[in-house]
Structure 1
Amino acid sequence: MQASLRWWAIYCSVAIGVWYVALSTPRPEASGLFFTTIGIIALWRYSWWLVHQVRSRIFLKRVFPRLRAQAERVATPLDHVYAVVLSYNIDEADFVKCYASLIDAAVESDVPTTIVASITTDRDRRLLHRAYLAAGCPEKVEIIAQFQKGDGKRSAIGEGLRVVARDCPPDRSVTILMDGDTVLGDGAIARVLPFFSADPDLAAATTNNDAIVKGTYLTRNWYVLRLAQRHTLMASMALSKRLLVLTGRCSFFRTDIATSRDFIAQVEDDRIWHWRLGEIKFLTGDDKSTWFHVLRSRGKMLYVPDVVTYGLEELPAPGRFFPASTKLMQRWFGNMLRANARAVSLGTPRLGFFVWWSLLDQRVSIWSSLAGPVATILLAIFLSPLFIIYYLAWAILTRTVMALATATNYGRIAPVWPFLLYYNQVWGALMKSKLLFHLDRQSWTRQSIDGAAHGQTAKAIGGTLLHAAAVSTFVIGIGVFTGQLSAASDAARYDLFRVNRAANA
């Protein structure tokens, strides 16, 4: 509570102070150029944001309630549920919470359930036994302990799915892929299964996510804000019966899809070819691999917003907000960019225009997110520093509106959200622009596995030079667009003319 009040005080003080200066200071002569430039950039960025907001509300308020009512009216119980759970060095308390919630959800669904627990130690096996005993040894729940190799999550998923395949699963069954530090909310299984029963074309579904975070007030709200934004985007995409990811925290698949050879091969040995970096084997981003398989197969996807799963989150080492959040951004955005190009190449006939354009915008937004700050800096240097104040006032206003809109969908808000929205936009875009030229950089922080390839130094230098060239070209382009580079050039020529004239005199 004290942290929240302190951040409300900071937010109000900053907002009032910036807007007071912006409104009370006489406008510079070239203010029209500033407002025109920012307006053009905002027209693109916020019109696209508004489209997602409208679509998300249509799905959440109109479409999904109708889908829920229809599914529960016509659905019949499925024959079996499988759950492949990936656990690697999970804290004991978190491990027990995960499996206890899964067993409870399985019992509540009243469908025979087989849990394939991919574990690493005998301690994990003892904890599984304890959780099963604590649940009363339910007859319809079976647990199979599967020791993983420890060479990454992908091989563990593959081995777990092969266990399911060897069980000769019935046609009317669903397989859940979930992380071992995830806790299922009430009715997590029972409330998702009717959609698969009612719609034979549904290939995969993912749920709403929340977070139980160990950390500071800033860290907790950073995670929650990210998930709140995810909620809006998922709901918007669900109108197109496609999603942009099938989240590894907890996603549901038809078992015949999840146990197919192509699906398992996609997860275990996924790779892309890059013109400069050569073959890049995916280390992280297994949820992007499962998603791409379903997407390429034209499978229908569904977002289930009224079912919540909770990620047990904690910033990786060193634990301080800026370096730790940067490390997570590097993993998340790297996965997104590695999966993006091949998804876009599927084209509009397979994806539909809106999904295809959303994927393309993932790359466009890298630069459009930076256009406003770069244009403001150039205008401040060459015309008036007051434009920085104007831009800050604009940023506070827009991020406040965005935070309120996000909170309307997600049901909560914090005073730190506007600041975090801007941090995610600018620093996230800078991270993406860098990773765009370093797609081979991958690592699992929990398992200390690195995806470095041979010739890494030469590739890193080449990527850095290309990144510098791209950023320079972008800044020059913004300078030309705002007219500041030509103005600077004219001023330089005028100064040179005066120097030469004085020398001749």
Structure 2
Amino acid sequence: MILYLLLLAAVLLHAPDALYRPEARSFIFIIGVVGIWRYGWGLVHFVRALIYKHRTFPRWRRYLDRLLAALDDPEGAPDTGAHAAFAAEAESLDRPAAFMQMRHADPGSDRPHPASHGHAAGAALAADLLPDAYIVVTAYRVGTETISAVFRAAFAEAQDYGRPVCIVASVVEMADQRHVKRLFQTADLDPRVRLLLVRAPPTGKRDGLALALRTVARQAPARDSAVILMDADTILPPGSLRTTLPFLRLLPHVAGLTTDEDSVVAGSRLMHHWHRLRFAQRQVLMCSMALSSRLLTLTGRMSVFRSQVAIDPGFIDAVRDDVIDHWRLGRIKLLTGEDKSTWFWLLKHGMKMIYVPDVRVVTIEHPPSPWFLSASTQLMTRWFGNMLRASGRAIALGPRRIGPFTWWCLIDQRVSMWTPLLGPLAAGFYAVLVSPIFLYAYLAWVLLTRLVQTLMLLPFRASVSGAYPLLLYYNQVYGACVKTYMLFRLDRQRWTRQQIEIGRIDPHPWRRQLRAAGSLYVHLLALTTLVAAVGYLTGLLTWPAEFDLAGL
């Protein structure tokens, strides 16, 4: 960070005098106006995230901690006033009618509600606080060391949880099945911890996850049990089950939740910083979205669902065989993005989601290439493709169904793939039209604004890196290029580790070539429109005289 600050100071202190001329200041003003939407919207997320992380969620956490403490000391259970306060907090999340009907469909359920009265009610609630758990882990072509670390952590968590836990391992290769079974046999676990092994075909994560969920359904889980879906590269930290799963009992209107993430990257230092920056930004966005009790994804790395949701046949079908319809590309079968399918199913049914910002799972990242540009491009292609394939149909649900803030955030995802390109285009046009000095002005602007954006991550992370400002710009501008590329090629899907892909394989080569030509045409048309609009706004391009309405 010190080197970055020295670079910024050098750029500002050694700026040419021409940079401070009126026309240069007007350029900076134009760049500021172009960016005011982005920075203003970012500030909204920042403030909302602060409110959720430092005010709303800590109240929930304190209440839950008191209930957990009451498991050992019933006299310390929250009293009537605390129950009423928490009930009011929960009610403010605007319960969806469809899920509440599902919740209350069982007339034999006598679980105490948080609004029950007295210390006795609090003690009863504390005793019923921890739901039974089913941990579903999907593994395919994951290294043996990674699988060992993941399942040992899962077994340890199941042992310490204190309630029945069933671990369902969905594996493809016999070697993985034997390895997981051996790890379980040598773990010396209580009888309440069980292991079920499911062999899945090597056709992608969706089939393996659907088979595992059907296995859970056959176990007839108790109502409101917790089903954890996680990848075989995700390590559960100690105490994570006890600090997350009780929220399903305390907030009966919540159907799913996810947690914070951090990473251990088996790659270059630059790739390590890139992943950590991504998770820091994710923390801000998730906290902001959680204030509206909906999220923009329920990550496949580790998410928790209520059992009656996870074993619903419609939910399982959405995981196994999800499709979208595109006006030009036709029906697209979804290969990747099963976490977007589960998220959309909850969104479509009006169900609520929350975020647990103080529990951080650790993911073991293996970049698909040793080269940063290649690895980041492959990963962004998959992530942004999943995002774009999911957001279109979510937007179609409308603001009434999913909430105005969530709906507008989905709209903003579509807008934000174009706005980062306006700055460099405008700087380039001004450099051609007036003077190359505007490239210097743009450099100073980028260095300053990305430093501010980096510092805004400090309330959510203990430290930031001096590489973050430059990586932010890389993510914004190059990421926008990848997003716009994928916007017109939604049929391109690929698992980077398993080397499974669809979109380029078609029994009719002419049809594949026709789709590719159509994608290239509409992509170039959109980029040409963007360049022409920026050129006109900067004065480099002008309307032909015959189009001048003032002269008519």
* TM-score, normalised by the number of residues in structure 1: 0.92
Asked whether 1:484 is paired with 2:540, we answer yes
Match of 1:437 among 488, 491, 508: 488
Identity %: 42
- After TM superposition, the structure 1 = structure 2 runs for residues 9-88 of structure 1, keeping only pairs within 5 Å, are 9=3, 11-22=4-15, 24-25=17-18, 27-28=20-21, 30-72=23-65, 73=67, 74-75=125-126, 76-88=128-140
Distance 1:106 1:66 in 2: 27
Change (3 A) 1:24 1:108: farther
Q: Is the 8 A contact 1:271 1:282 kept in 2?
A: yes
Which amino acid letter does the alignment assign opposite residue 395 of structure 1? V
Q: Is the 8 A contact 2:131 2:249 kept in 1?
A: no
**CA shift digits 1:376-434 (9 cap, x unpaired):** 11111111111111111111111111111113212221110001000000000011111
**CA shift digits 1:293-330 (9 cap, x unpaired):** 0111111101001111111002103x200011101100
Distance 1:79 1:31 in 2: 63
Following superposition, the deviation at residue 186 of structure 1 comes to 1.8
SS in structure 2 at match of 1:394: helix
Asked whether 1:415 is paired with 2:466, we answer yes
Change (3 A) 1:204 1:34: same
Which amino acid letter does the alignment assign opposite residue 436 of structure 2? P
Following superposition, the deviation at residue 29 of structure 1 comes to 5.0
Following superposition, the deviation at residue 371 of structure 1 comes to 1.1
- What is aligned with 1:385? 436
Distance 2:463 2:529 in 1: 41
Q: Is the 8 A contact 1:71 1:197 kept in 2?
A: no
**CA shift digits 1:461-494 (9 cap, x unpaired):** 111111111011011111222222129x89xxxx
**CA shift digits 1:204-230 (9 cap, x unpaired):** 000110001111110100000000000
SS in structure 1 at match of 2:457: helix
Following superposition, the deviation at residue 25 of structure 1 comes to 4.3
Following superposition, the deviation at residue 133 of structure 1 comes to 3.6
- What is aligned with 1:464? 520
Match of 2:337 among 265, 285, 296: 285
Change (3 A) 1:426 1:21: same
Moved over 4 A (4+): 23-26
Q: How many residues align?
A: 481
Distance 1:21 1:361 in 2: 37
SS in structure 1 at match of 2:418: helix
Match of 1:336 among 382, 387, 390: 387
Which amino acid letter does the alignment assign opposite residue 486 of structure 1? T
Which amino acid letter does the alignment assign opposite residue 470 of structure 1? A
Change (3 A) 1:373 1:116: same
**CA shift digits 1:312-369 (9 cap, x unpaired):** 002103x200011101100000000000110011111111111100000000001111
Distance 1:444 1:37 in 2: 41
Change (3 A) 1:79 1:64: closer
Q: Is the 8 A contact 1:87 1:180 kept in 2?
A: yes
Asked whether 1:171 is paired with 2:171, we answer no
Q: Is the 8 A contact 1:28 1:384 kept in 2?
A: no
Which amino acid letter does the alignment assign opposite residue 473 of structure 2? Y
Match of 1:122 among 160, 174, 191: 174
- What is aligned with 2:142? 90
Q: Is the 8 A contact 1:8 1:416 kept in 2?
A: no
Following superposition, the deviation at residue 139 of structure 1 comes to 1.8
CA RMSD of aligned residues (A): 1.6
Asked whether 1:369 is paired with 2:425, we answer no
Distance 2:478 2:131 in 1: 48
Match of 2:262 among 184, 206, 210: 210
Which amino acid letter does the alignment assign opposite residue 323 of structure 2? R
Following superposition, the deviation at residue 445 of structure 1 comes to 1.7
Following superposition, the deviation at residue 456 of structure 1 comes to 1.9
Distance 1:21 1:374 in 2: 24
SS in structure 2 at match of 1:200: coil
Distance 1:36 1:16 in 2: 21
Which amino acid letter does the alignment assign opposite residue 406 of structure 1? L
Following superposition, the deviation at residue 442 of structure 1 comes to 0.5
* TM-score, normalised by the number of residues in structure 2: 0.85
Distance 1:212 1:412 in 2: 16
Distance 2:19 2:262 in 1: 46
Which amino acid letter does the alignment assign opposite residue 44 of structure 2? V
Distance 2:300 2:461 in 1: 21
Match of 2:234 among 157, 171, 182: 182
- What is aligned with 1:251? 303
Distance 2:141 2:458 in 1: 34
Distance 1:23 1:54 in 2: 37
Which amino acid letter does the alignment assign opposite residue 34 of structure 2? I
SS in structure 2 at match of 1:409: coil
Which amino acid letter does the alignment assign opposite residue 83 of structure 1? I
Asked whether 1:400 is paired with 2:451, we answer yes
SS in structure 1 at match of 2:357: strand
SS in structure 2 at match of 1:118: strand
- What is aligned with 2:165? 113
Q: Is the 8 A contact 1:186 1:307 kept in 2?
A: no
Distance 2:512 2:498 in 1: 21
SS in structure 1 at match of 2:240: coil
Distance 2:516 2:298 in 1: 30
Distance 1:433 1:159 in 2: 35
Which amino acid letter does the alignment assign opposite residue 136 of structure 1? D
Q: Is the 8 A contact 2:138 2:232 kept in 1?
A: yes
Distance 1:122 1:276 in 2: 42
Following superposition, the deviation at residue 26 of structure 1 comes to 5.0
SS in structure 2 at match of 1:433: helix
Distance 1:469 1:122 in 2: 50
Q: Is the 8 A contact 2:134 2:227 kept in 1?
A: yes
Q: Is the 8 A contact 1:21 1:389 kept in 2?
A: no
SS in structure 1 at match of 2:298: coil
Distance 2:336 2:19 in 1: 53
Change (3 A) 1:174 1:28: same
Following superposition, the deviation at residue 191 of structure 1 comes to 0.6
SS in structure 2 at match of 1:484: coil
- What is aligned with 1:142? 194
Structure 2 residues not aligned, in runs of 5+? 68-124, 546-552
Q: Is the 8 A contact 1:185 1:309 kept in 2?
A: yes
Distance 2:174 2:181 in 1: 11
Asked whether 1:348 is paired with 2:387, we answer no
Q: Is the 8 A contact 2:24 2:441 kept in 1?
A: no
- What is aligned with 2:90? none
Distance 1:352 1:118 in 2: 35
